[in-house]
Amino acid sequence: MAALKYSRQRECIREFVLNCQEHPTADTVYAEIKKEFPNISLGTVYRNLSLLVELGEIAKISTGDGPDRFDCNTKPHSHFICTDCHCIQDVELSDIDCIKDLAAPNFDGTILAHTTTFYGVCKHCAEIKNSKKVVDKFTQVC
Protein backbone atom coordinates (compact mmCIF):
# COMPACT_ATOMS: atom_id res chain seq x y z
CA MET A 1 0.00 0.00 0.00
CA ALA A 2 1.34 3.43 -0.91
CA ALA A 3 2.02 5.95 1.82
CA LEU A 4 -1.21 7.44 3.04
CA LYS A 5 -1.61 11.16 2.43
CA TYR A 6 -2.50 13.16 5.54
CA SER A 7 -6.09 14.35 5.65
CA ARG A 8 -7.35 16.85 8.22
CA GLN A 9 -10.88 15.51 7.75
CA ARG A 10 -9.76 11.92 8.39
CA GLU A 11 -7.80 13.04 11.45
CA CYS A 12 -10.91 14.79 12.86
CA ILE A 13 -13.03 11.70 12.17
CA ARG A 14 -10.43 9.52 13.89
CA GLU A 15 -10.20 11.85 16.91
CA PHE A 16 -13.98 12.01 17.24
CA VAL A 17 -14.33 8.21 17.31
CA LEU A 18 -11.34 7.79 19.64
CA ASN A 19 -12.78 10.31 22.10
CA CYS A 20 -16.40 9.19 21.85
CA GLN A 21 -17.63 7.37 24.95
CA GLU A 22 -20.34 5.65 22.94
CA HIS A 23 -20.19 3.60 19.76
CA PRO A 24 -21.21 6.16 17.10
CA THR A 25 -22.83 5.43 13.76
CA ALA A 26 -21.47 6.96 10.56
CA ASP A 27 -24.42 9.40 10.66
CA THR A 28 -23.43 10.51 14.17
CA VAL A 29 -19.82 11.01 13.07
CA TYR A 30 -21.02 12.90 9.98
CA ALA A 31 -23.25 15.24 12.02
CA GLU A 32 -20.36 16.08 14.34
CA ILE A 33 -17.66 16.47 11.67
CA LYS A 34 -19.96 18.59 9.50
CA LYS A 35 -19.79 21.30 12.19
CA GLU A 36 -16.09 21.79 11.42
CA PHE A 37 -16.20 20.83 7.73
CA PRO A 38 -19.58 22.04 6.39
CA ASN A 39 -18.87 20.78 2.86
CA ILE A 40 -17.92 17.23 3.84
CA SER A 41 -20.10 14.49 2.36
CA LEU A 42 -21.49 11.43 4.10
CA GLY A 43 -19.63 9.33 1.51
CA THR A 44 -16.32 10.88 2.59
CA VAL A 45 -17.10 10.02 6.21
CA TYR A 46 -17.94 6.41 5.25
CA ARG A 47 -14.75 6.05 3.18
CA ASN A 48 -12.59 7.43 5.98
CA LEU A 49 -14.25 5.25 8.62
CA SER A 50 -13.65 2.20 6.40
CA LEU A 51 -10.02 3.19 5.94
CA LEU A 52 -9.53 3.69 9.69
CA VAL A 53 -11.03 0.23 10.29
CA GLU A 54 -8.72 -1.26 7.63
CA LEU A 55 -5.72 0.42 9.29
CA GLY A 56 -6.77 -1.04 12.67
CA GLU A 57 -7.17 2.36 14.31
CA ILE A 58 -10.87 1.82 15.07
CA ALA A 59 -13.18 -1.20 14.97
CA LYS A 60 -16.51 -1.69 13.22
CA ILE A 61 -19.40 -3.35 15.05
CA SER A 62 -22.17 -4.86 12.95
CA THR A 63 -25.37 -4.80 14.97
CA GLY A 64 -27.39 -6.96 12.61
CA ASP A 65 -30.61 -4.98 12.37
CA GLY A 66 -29.28 -1.45 12.68
CA PRO A 67 -26.50 0.66 11.26
CA ASP A 68 -22.88 -0.33 11.84
CA ARG A 69 -21.24 1.31 14.84
CA PHE A 70 -17.62 2.24 15.40
CA ASP A 71 -15.47 1.53 18.43
CA CYS A 72 -12.28 3.20 19.63
CA ASN A 73 -11.34 0.03 21.52
CA THR A 74 -9.58 -2.27 19.05
CA LYS A 75 -8.48 -4.77 21.71
CA PRO A 76 -10.50 -8.01 21.90
CA HIS A 77 -13.59 -7.47 24.03
CA SER A 78 -17.28 -8.35 24.03
CA HIS A 79 -20.36 -6.19 23.61
CA PHE A 80 -23.87 -5.94 25.01
CA ILE A 81 -26.50 -4.62 22.58
CA CYS A 82 -29.87 -3.45 23.89
CA THR A 83 -32.65 -4.89 21.75
CA ASP A 84 -34.87 -1.88 22.51
CA CYS A 85 -32.70 1.22 22.06
CA HIS A 86 -29.75 -0.45 20.28
CA CYS A 87 -27.17 1.11 22.60
CA ILE A 88 -23.89 -0.79 22.77
CA GLN A 89 -21.84 -1.30 25.91
CA ASP A 90 -18.38 -2.84 26.21
CA VAL A 91 -18.20 -6.02 28.28
CA GLU A 92 -14.79 -6.99 29.63
CA LEU A 93 -14.49 -10.72 30.28
CA SER A 94 -11.10 -12.00 31.39
CA ASP A 95 -11.74 -15.71 30.72
CA ILE A 96 -13.50 -15.43 27.35
CA ASP A 97 -10.62 -17.08 25.46
CA CYS A 98 -11.65 -20.43 26.93
CA ILE A 99 -14.48 -20.40 24.35
CA LYS A 100 -11.90 -21.06 21.62
CA ASP A 101 -10.65 -24.11 23.55
CA LEU A 102 -14.22 -25.39 23.96
CA ALA A 103 -15.08 -24.88 20.29
CA ALA A 104 -11.86 -26.21 18.73
CA PRO A 105 -12.59 -29.96 19.12
CA ASN A 106 -15.98 -29.57 17.42
CA PHE A 107 -14.72 -28.90 13.88
CA ASP A 108 -11.72 -29.28 11.59
CA GLY A 109 -9.79 -26.05 11.34
CA THR A 110 -8.03 -23.40 13.35
CA ILE A 111 -9.78 -20.62 15.23
CA LEU A 112 -8.06 -17.31 14.57
CA ALA A 113 -10.50 -15.03 16.36
CA HIS A 114 -14.01 -14.84 17.73
CA THR A 115 -16.54 -12.25 18.78
CA THR A 116 -19.06 -12.43 21.58
CA THR A 117 -22.14 -10.25 21.64
CA PHE A 118 -24.78 -10.34 24.34
CA TYR A 119 -28.31 -9.15 23.53
CA GLY A 120 -30.82 -7.98 26.09
CA VAL A 121 -32.49 -4.93 27.59
CA CYS A 122 -30.29 -2.20 29.08
CA LYS A 123 -30.96 -0.75 32.53
CA HIS A 124 -32.47 2.45 31.10
CA CYS A 125 -34.96 0.60 28.88
CA ALA A 126 -35.81 -1.84 31.69
CA GLU A 127 -36.63 1.10 33.98
CA ILE A 128 -38.87 2.60 31.29
CA LYS A 129 -40.66 -0.74 30.83
CA ASN A 130 -41.10 -1.14 34.59
CA SER A 131 -42.48 2.39 35.01
CA LYS A 132 -44.88 1.77 32.10
CA LYS A 133 -46.11 -1.43 33.80
CA VAL A 134 -46.78 0.54 37.00
CA VAL A 135 -48.71 3.19 35.04
CA ASP A 136 -50.66 0.48 33.16
CA LYS A 137 -51.53 -1.26 36.46
CA PHE A 138 -52.63 2.04 37.99
CA THR A 139 -54.77 2.83 34.91
CA GLN A 140 -56.47 -0.59 35.11
CA VAL A 141 -57.33 -0.06 38.79
CA CYS A 142 -58.88 3.36 38.17
Kindly report the average pLDDT of the chain as a whole number.
Answer: 89
What is the domain partition of the chain in residue ranges? 1-74, 76-142
Residue 98 pLDDT: 84
pLDDT, tens digit (0-9, with 9 covering 90-100), for 92-103: 888 777 888 888
Pairwise CA distance, residues 102 & 138, whole Å: 49
CA distance linking residue 32 with residue 141, whole number of Å: 47
Task: Give the Cα separation of 63 and 61 in Å (integer).
Answer: 6
Residue 115 gets which letter from DSSP? -
Q: What is the pLDDT of residue 133?
A: 66
Q: Is 79 annotated as a binding residue?
A: no
Count CB atoms within 10 A of the CB of residue 30. 20
Confidence of residue 134 (pLDDT cuts 50, 70, 90): low
pTM: 0.80
Q: Are 83 and 68 in contact (CB under 8 A)?
A: no
The architecture CATH gives domain 1-74: Orthogonal Bundle (1.10)
45-59 residue pLDDT tens: 999 999 999 999 999
Would you say 85 is a known binding-site residue? Answer: yes
What topology does CATH give the domain 76-142?
Dna Ligase; domain 1 (3.30.1490)
How confident is the model at residue 142, as a pLDDT? 46
Q: Tell me the average pLDDT across 25-38.
A: 98
Ligand-binding annotation for 114, yes or no, is yes
Read off the amino acid at residue 70: F
Is there a binding annotation on residue 82? yes
What residues have CB less than 8 Å from 62, skipping those under 6 apart? 68
pLDDT on residue 135: 55
Inform me whether the pLDDT recorded for 26 exceeds 90: yes
